[in-house]
């Protein structure tokens, strides 16, 4: 298990089981460092429309195995715990409440 930090310093667990799940997709196998970077330096963080406890961290990468894509890291945030559910490459940012950056 790895303990990662996001841009706010929140401790986020990445278990071996979740990492194995992510690696089931061949295009994700070489993106472990990118997952950490997307958490530390996201371009945008969205609250999931389907699960208010899930935050979607997005960062754009050029030249992935499947072309230029956003990496989305899905983190479940609960009062006493935060952990990675999954990570995947996508063409666009999902709709939802933007948590970061804020417009304040």
Number of domains in the chain: 1
Asked whether residue 52 is domain-assigned, the answer is yes
CB 85, CB 74: distance < 8 Å = yes
pTM of this structure = 0.96
pLDDT exceeds cutoff 60 at 13: yes
Asked whether residue 36 is domain-assigned, the answer is yes
What is the residue range of 11's domain?
2-94
Residue 102 banded pLDDT, cuts 50, 70, 90? confident
Model confidence over 54-67: pLDDT tens digits?
Answer: 999 999 999 999 99
3-class secondary structure, 92? coil
């Amino acid at each position: 298990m790895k303990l990662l930090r996001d841009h706010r310093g929140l401790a986020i667990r990445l278990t071996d089981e979740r990492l194995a799940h992510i690696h089931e997709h061949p295009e994700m196998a070489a993106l472990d460092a990118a997952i950490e970077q997307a958490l530390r330096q996201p371009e945008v963080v969205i609250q999931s429309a389907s699960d208010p406890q899930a935050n979607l961290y997005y960062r754009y990468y050029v030249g992935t195995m499947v072309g230029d894509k956003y990496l989305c890291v899905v983190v479940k945030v609960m009062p006493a715990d935060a952990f990675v559910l999954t990570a995947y490459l996508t063409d666009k940012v999902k709709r939802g409440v933007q948590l970061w950056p804020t417009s304040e």
